[in-house]
Amino acid sequence: MFRKYTLIGSPLGHSMSPWIHEHLFAMAGRQAEYTLTEISPEDLQQHMPALKSLTGFNITIPHKISIIPYLQTLDETAQRYHSVNCVHNTPDGSIGYNTDCEGFLRSVQDFPLDGKVLLIGCGGVGRMMATEAIRHKANLTISEPNQKIAKALKAELENAYPGAKIRLISADQLEENFDLLMNACPVGMYPKTENCPVNDAFISRCSHVFDVIYNPTETVLIQKAKAMQIPAVGGAAMLVWQAVRAHEIWDGDTYTAEQIQKLISDMEQEIARLFPVKESLL
């Protein structure tokens, strides 16, 4: 059966999702179509009949929360973050999932998520990263310029996880050491690839670094960390692994770790081809 899928969001720009999903379908030997569907916030409702006629679809900003009222069921992951990035349309209705967490946890599986963790930015995907840090018993510090968002997330997590260790600080207070620095803000993203969310002195005080940005595949933050011999991972692996989880949900497909590692490497090369930047951003 020929299946159809799409990614909804606005703006979508040069999304890598079709490239990733087409390769995953090919690896599984499936005939399927994956497209991009740009939908403005006010037009979501009128697109729902067409979306529900598909086998499944992915969601990015600004629809990850607003899609929820149109779904029949939420998986535990979607309930946990009150955010949906993957929908499976079944005979019993549309089920919402959050697969970002799978991609994130696979990306930082060798990092001390249960240690002293700093999160920069807690909007969108940062909420999920903060939640997982607390679920792993981290001592979490959040640096987020929008205090309203930061305070709301802190209260939400403290309510959901009694005993959670969370504090809020401003960027100019970053003077101590951390086991893990996680960047969930857009600073350093293409096309402004020369920017970095923290200075060199602070990077040197972090034992591990994760940057959710995947374009460029190595941000200035990641390059600086690696130059200091600090273990550092960018967002490409997270993007691919969350897509793999979607295929497991939609079709029950499975892939080897070697297959996915090669796909991550190939995608990084494709990003470098599509969005050329200086060889070194330092």
- Known catalytic membership, residue 64: yes
CB of 60 within 8 A of CB of 7?
yes
Q: Is the pLDDT of residue 281 over 80?
A: no
Q: Is the pLDDT of residue 106 over 60?
A: yes
The confidence score (pLDDT) of residue 227 equals 98
Give the chain's mean pLDDT.
94
The confidence score (pLDDT) of residue 278 equals 67
Which domains does the chain possess? 3-98+237-274 (3.40.50.10860), 102-235 (3.40.50.720)
Distance CA 171, CA 166 (A): 16
Q: What is the mean pLDDT of residues 144-166?
A: 95
Q: Which two tokens stand for residue 163?
A: 């005993």
The confidence score (pLDDT) of residue 108 equals 96
Q: Is the pLDDT of residue 172 over 80?
A: no
Q: Is the pLDDT of residue 80 over 60?
A: yes
Q: Kindly give, in sequence order, each residue whose CB lies less than 8 Å from that of residue 203, ignoring residues fewer than 6 positions away.
A: 181, 209, 221, 224, 225, 228, 230
Q: What single-letter DSSP state applies at residue 264? A: H
- Which comes out higher in pLDDT, residue 173 or 242? 242
The model's confidence at residue 36, banded by pLDDT at 50, 70 and 90, is very high
The confidence score (pLDDT) of residue 279 equals 60
How many residues does this entry show for the chain? Answer: 282
CB of 129 within 8 A of CB of 157?
no
CB of 101 within 8 A of CB of 81?
yes
Q: Kindly give, in sequence order, each residue whose CB lies less than 8 Å from that of residue 241, ignoring residues fewer than 6 positions away.
A: 102, 103, 106, 107, 260
Q: What is the mean pLDDT of residues 157-183?
A: 92
Q: What is the mean pLDDT of residues 166-173?
A: 87
CB of 228 within 8 A of CB of 207?
no
Q: Which two tokens stand for residue 253?
A: 């497909």
Catalytic residue among 64, 137, 165, 278: 64
CB of 90 within 8 A of CB of 249?
no
